[in-house]
């Protein structure tokens, strides 16, 4: 597991890795900016610039107040959503990461069948929805479990990352059903590797590289569990 992670880390400078990271960050930033622009448009369209209250009189500057409030909301949302959204967009292109790993470390393998773009988009969106839901649950549990909250966060995200990224790496070579069975047969190894990936999710900037590092790490883990020679 650690060897697989170190091999993935050693390839982080690969242009194909960096391209996926930059695409994920750029597309997710564009989505957040577009969402904020839409929110401002709604505020401008449906709220008056001023209104009157009984015994108080006319109150001006409602647009300005809501504008600053929406900016604060977007800052909070970007902290919470940037990683899942970046993971969604990166997930669409993670097949390129697996190809880069195999080209360097398993050059004797024949090309893997291409994952249809529609399937990649569906899988990425489904994973992101589950990731957001689980992190919302972890945030609520923070007030219940107290100092154990980071371990809950790592365990939940570790399970999801291990499950999805191993499935992605394995089904390229052996199909969805066989990949699911191999994952079940090695669930503890995959969970441990997923938790290793989940720990850096709490570190800003570093967390944006986790989708790529996760895909590369689990590509190595799959080939080792499957007995693929280097």
Tokens of 1: 């597991």
In a domain, 13, yes or no: yes
SS3 204: coil
- What is the number of domains present in the chain? 1
Produce one character per residue of 105-137: b if its CB has 16 or more CB atoms within 10 Å, e if not: beeeeeeeeebeeeebeebbeebbeebbebbee
Q: Of the candidates 209, 191, 228, 205, which has an alpha carbon nearest to the alpha carbon of residue 1? A: 191
Spell out the residues 6+ positions from residue 58 whose beta carbon is closer than 8 angstroms to its own.
Answer: 50, 51, 52
Write out the chain's pLDDT in tens, 230 residues: 778 888 888 888 888 888 877 777 777 677 777 777 776 676 667 665 554 444 544 545 555 555 556 666 666 555 556 556 666 665 667 788 888 899 889 988 888 877 676 766 677 677 777 777 776 776 677 777 777 777 777 787 788 888 888 888 888 888 888 888 999 999 899 988 888 887 777 676 777 777 788 888 999 999 999 887 77
Angle between helices 149-174 and 94-105 (to 10 degrees): 70
**How far apart (Å, rounded) are the C-alpha atoms in residues 53 and 97?**
59
**Residue 110 is part of which domain span?**
2-225
pLDDT at 62: 52
Is 68:103 a contact under the CB 8 Å cutoff? Answer: no
- C-alpha torsion angle, residues 115, 121, 127, 133 (rounded to 10): 180
Neighbouring-strand partners of residue 72: none
pLDDT at 224: 92
Tokens of 4: 């697989």
pTM of the model: 0.71
* Chain-centre distance for alpha carbon 166: 14
pLDDT at 179: 86
In a domain, 230, yes or no: no
In a domain, 139, yes or no: yes
In a domain, 215, yes or no: yes
Tokens of 156: 């939940």
In a domain, 173, yes or no: yes
């Amino acid at each position: 597991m650690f060897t697989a992670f170190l091999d993935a880390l050693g390839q982080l400078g690969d242009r194909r890795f960096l391209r996926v990271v930059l695409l994920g960050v750029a597309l997710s930033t564009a989505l957040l900016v577009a969402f904020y622009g839409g929110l401002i448009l709604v505020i401008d369209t449906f709220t008056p610039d001023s209104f009157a209250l009984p015994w108080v009189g006319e109150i001006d500057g409602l647009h300005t107040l809501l504008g600053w409030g929406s900016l604060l909301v977007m800052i909070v949302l970007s902290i919470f959503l940037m990683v899942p959204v970046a993971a969604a967009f990166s997930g669409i292109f993670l097949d390129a990461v697996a190809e880069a790993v195999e080209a360097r470390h398993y050059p004797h393998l024949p090309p893997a069948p291409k994952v249809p773009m529609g399937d990649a988009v569906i899988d990425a969106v489904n994973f992101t929805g589950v990731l957001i839901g689980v992190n919302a649950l972890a945030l609520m549990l923070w007030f219940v479990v107290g100092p154990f909250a980071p371990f809950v966060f790592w365990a939940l995200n570790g399970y999801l990352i291990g499950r999805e990224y191993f499935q992605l790496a394995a089904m390229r070579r052996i199909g969805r059903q066989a990949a699911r069975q191999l994952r079940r047969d090695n669930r503890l190894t995959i969970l441990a590797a997923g938790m290793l990936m989940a720990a850096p999710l709490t570190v800003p900037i570093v967390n944006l590289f986790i989708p790529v590092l996760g895909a590369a790490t689990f590509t190595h883990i799959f080939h080792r569990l499957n007995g693929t020679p280097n």
